[in-house]
Amino acid sequence: MANALHLEEISHPTALLFGGRLKARRKALKLTQVQLFERTGITPGYLSFIENGRANPTLDMMVKLSEAVDTNLCKMLCEGD
């Protein structure tokens, strides 16, 4: 389909930053995507899209995910941390 949007084409730079930090934090805590799903209700497939910068999570989702990996949204989004 020629006019279909691809998730990776619409991601915002902030979503890329958040996704990368989420993945790093999840791995540092030795959590799987399934375990993060159990904490948040966000499916492993969508978590993968978020972690790889191919989805733009809502503010509520970013807060929920940050709390699920024992940090806060500011730390996940602030540059240079």
Quick one: pLDDT at residue 81? 53
Using the predicted structure, report yes or no on whether residue 9 has a pLDDT greater than 70: no
pLDDT 10s digits, 36-56: 999 999 999 999 999 999 999
Amino acid at 66: S
Specify whether the CB–CB gap between 60 and 53 falls below 8 A. Answer: no
Quick one: pLDDT at residue 2? 44
Specify whether the CB–CB gap between 42 and 68 falls below 8 A. Answer: no
Specify whether the CB–CB gap between 44 and 34 falls below 8 A. Answer: yes
Collapsing DSSP to helix, strand or coil, 7 comes out as: helix
- More confident site: 13 or 80: 13
Quick one: pLDDT at residue 80? 65
Collapsing DSSP to helix, strand or coil, 32 comes out as: coil
